[in-house]
Amino acid sequence: MKPNRTASANLRNRVLGLACTLTLGGALALAATASLAGLPDPSSLSYPVAAEQWPLTGGDQSGTWFSALTQINDTNAGQLGLAWAYDMGTDRGQEATPLVIDGVMYTSGVWGIVYALDATTGKLIWQFDPGIDPMSARNACCDTVNRGVAYRDGVVFVASEDGKLHALDAKTGAEKWTADTIINRKQVYASTGAVILTSDAVVIGNSGADLGDGSSRGYISAWDIKTGKFKWRFFTVPPAPDQPFEHPELAMAAKSWGPNRDGKYQNGGAVWDGLSYDPQTDQIVFGTANASPYLRVKTGAERHDDLFNASIIAVNAQNGRMNWYYQETPGDSWDYDAVQKFIFANLPVGGEKRRVVMQASKNGFYYTLDLKTGKLLAADAFTYVNWAKGVDLATGRPQFTEVADYSKRPKNVYPSWAGGHTWNPMSFSPKTGLVYIPTLDVPNVILNMAGNGGALKHVEGFFNADGLIPDDTYDPAGMKRLFGALPDKAELAKERPGTRMVREILKAWDPVKRQVVWSQVTSEGNRGYDGGVLSTAGNIVVQGRGDGTIWVYNATTGQPIKTIQTGSHIMAAPMTYKVGGVQYIAVQAGYGGSGISFPIPPSSAAYRNMNTNRILVFKLGGGAVTPPEPRVNPFDYPEPPKFTATAAQIAHGEEKFTEYCSRCHGFGPGVTPDLSRLPPEVHAMFADIVLKGALAPLGMAPLNDVVSKDDVEAIHAYLLDQEKQGYEAQHKKTAGN
C-alpha cells in the first residue's frame, strides 16, 4: 500500500490565510528628498571600497552583487577548484553572503552567530554566539536563518534571531554594545535580515507578518552606530483604531484599511529583508510584506489597499520620515510581499539618465522607479504572470484579471505565493548592462478553503494564503478530503503546453530594453530552492543550485562554462574577493529557510545536512570538493511499534499534523526530522516532545497552547500509520527483488 502523500506532503506547497480584496492602490510622493546640507559627504564615509574587497552584503552601496575583479573570467573559469572549506557546525539554512575586509572574512549563520575567518585559509579567528533561547525559533516563520553582517570602522554588526542588535569588535568578536529592537515581546517577532548602515545609524526590520492571527506589526528602527542608542522608528501599518498614530504617514494609511478594521489584528507589513541605503540621497529604501490576516471574513473589512503593505518605501535616513512610497500590490491576497532586494543604478530612461531603484518583485513584475521621487518608470513581467495583465504606468496600479479572484473557485495563479523572485539576490553587471534574476516560474492553485468543501477551513498561526503548488506531488484526489475539490493537473498544464508548470530559471534581463536576453532552466518538476547570483567584470555569472552544483556562465551569452558538484544544497548568493594577488569565489551552503519542511533535492539529500553546511571557497587551479558524509539509508522506513487507532483518529491526526506540524516537518530527508520515519525511542517520548517541550533545547518548542492531549495522540497515530504504510511498501518491494 502506497503511503498517503496528500495534504501532508503538499502542505509544503501552501501558505495559510485568505481574502479576495481586489482593490486599487498607487504611488504618492509625500515629500521631496530632504536636503543633504550638513551631512557628511558620502565619499567621506569610511566604507572600504577597494575592488579586491567585498565590504557590504551586496558588494557595494548599490546592492549589485557585482565585482570589478577579472582574474577569474570567461576564458579560464573552467579551471576553478576548491581553495578551502569551513564547516559551520550546524544543520540549518545558510542565506548570508560573507564580507571580506583586509584579508578577513566576516559572515553570519543560524541564530545570528558570527564567524571571522582568515580569507586565504579558512582558519577561524573568532566566533560570536548571541546565546539565543531555542524556544524563540517558534517566532521565526522559516527557520532560524540570517542574511548577513555589516562592517564599519573596525566594528561588525549583526541582528540575531531574537531581534537584538549586536556591535562586535572586528579583531576579537567582543561585544561593544547591544540593543533590543523588539517593541512587544508578546508578539511573534524575529530578525533574519542583514542590517544596513547609514552615515550614523544601524537599521533593521523584523519578520512576523506570516503568522495569521498572531502576526506582528511591521516597522524598521534606527540605532546610533557608536552607542546603540535608539534614534527613530517607522511603522509600516497603522495601529489599532483606538490608538494614536506614531507618525503622520499612518493617518493616511489608516484610511486605506476600511472602517471595519478589527483592532485585535496587528496588520502585518513586516520588513524582513531588502533594506537598502543610498548615500547620494541619504535615504533608506525598503519593501514591506503582506497584510495579515488575509481572511477578510474574520475582519469584516471591505476591499481596500492596506497601506503600506506590499509596498516600496523611501524614508529620510536622519529622522525616518517618509519621502515617497509606491504600492506594488494593493489589497494583496496572494502573498506578494515586496521585500526582495533592491538595486540602485544610473540608467537612460526616455532619453534621460536617471538615478533609479529596481526590483524583480515577488508578484512577477520588474519595477523601475526614480530613486529621488518614487515615480514609476517601468513595470514589466519578467516571468509568466496571469493574476494581472499588466501595470498602468499612469496610475501605478496592476490591471487585475479574473484569475486573481479565487473566492468562488480555486484558480491556478502565476506566480505562486513563493513569488516570481524571492529573497535570493539578483545581480546587475554594469559591464553587460544586464540584471541576472533567479526566477521562479511556478504557479499555485489558490483557494478559499473556508468554502471549498474540505475538512480544513483555514489555519491561523502559520501563513496567509491557501495555495497548493502543482508539482510532482500534486494529487487532487488524495487532497480532496482536506482541501475540497481541486482542478486536475492535466487541465492546469493546458495553460502553457510544452513546459513544466514548476521550473526555476536564471534569467538575464535588460532593464533598458525591458526584455529577457537569455535564460537557463535550473530545476524542473519540483522546486530546487536554487541560490542567488554573482556577476563580475570577468564576464561571468555564478549561481549555486539546490542539487549541490555551482554553475559558472558567460555573462553575455548565458553559455555554461563550469559546473562543480559540491553535495551541499546552495541557496545563498556567492561573492568574490582578492587577497595576496589571488581571486577567490565564496558561497555559503546549507538548506533551510522557507524550504525547512521541503524534502531536499535527491542529489544533495544523499548527504547529511549537518556537514553540508559549509563555506566553500574556490580559486583557479584549486582542488576537488570533498563530498559530505553520506546519509545512512535516507529513504528507509524503520519498523514502527505496534499501535491501535481508528480510521477517524488517524484522519483527525492528519488534519492536526497539517495545521500545526507540517510548517516545519515534511516527508523525506530535510532540515527537520521526517516524522514518518521515527525511531522507537522517539515514538516513546512523542507526547512529552509535543506537549512538554522535551526537545526544546534543540528548537522544538512545545505546542501545548494549541493542541490537546487527544490531538497529540491522533497526530502520533497518523504518523505511525504513515510509517507502517511506508515500511510495508518498502518490505514488499525488497521481497519482490
Q: Do residues 246 and 236 make contact, with C-beta atoms less than 8 angstroms apart?
A: no
If you count DSSP H runs as helices and E runs as strands, how many of each does the chain have, helices first? 10, 41
Q: Residue 614 belongs to what H/E stretch?
A: strand 614-620
- In the numeric block, which cell numbers belong to residue 688? 512529552
Q: Residue 729 belongs to what H/E stretch?
A: helix 709-736
Partners of 507 in the beta sheet?
437, 519
CB atoms within 10 A of CB 400: 16
CA atoms within 13 A on the CB side of 390: 5
DSSP state of 143: B
Residue 466: which residues within 8 A CB-CB, separation 6 or more?
14, 15, 16, 17, 18, 446, 447, 448, 449, 458, 483
Partners of 587 in the beta sheet?
616
Q: Do residues 635 and 668 make contact, with C-beta atoms less than 8 angstroms apart?
A: yes
Residue 242 C-alpha from the chain's centroid: 34
**Dist CA 441 CA 451 (whole Å):** 28
CB atoms within 10 A of CB 245: 14
- In the numeric block, which cell numbers belong to residue 692? 512538554
Q: Do residues 306 and 21 make contact, with C-beta atoms less than 8 angstroms apart?
A: yes
DSSP state of 612: G
Q: Do residues 218 and 205 make contact, with C-beta atoms less than 8 angstroms apart?
A: yes
CA atoms within 13 A on the CB side of 701: 14
Burial 190-218 (b: 16+ CB within 10 A, else e): bbbbbbbbbbbbbbbbbbbbbbbebbbbb
Burial 692-723 (b: 16+ CB within 10 A, else e): ebbbbeebbbbbeeebeeebbbbbbbbbbbbb
Please identify every residue annotated as catalytic.
335
- In the numeric block, which cell numbers belong to residue 543? 549561481
- Going by their DSSP bridges, the two strands 343-349 and 291-292 should be labelled as unpaired
Number of residues assigned to the chain:
737
Ranges of beta strands (E only) in 417-496 are 427-429, 434-441, 444-446, 467-468
Residue 435: which residues within 8 A CB-CB, separation 6 or more?
343, 358, 360, 366, 426, 427, 428, 429, 508, 509, 510, 511
Q: What angle do CA 510, 513, 517 make, to 5 degrees?
A: 40
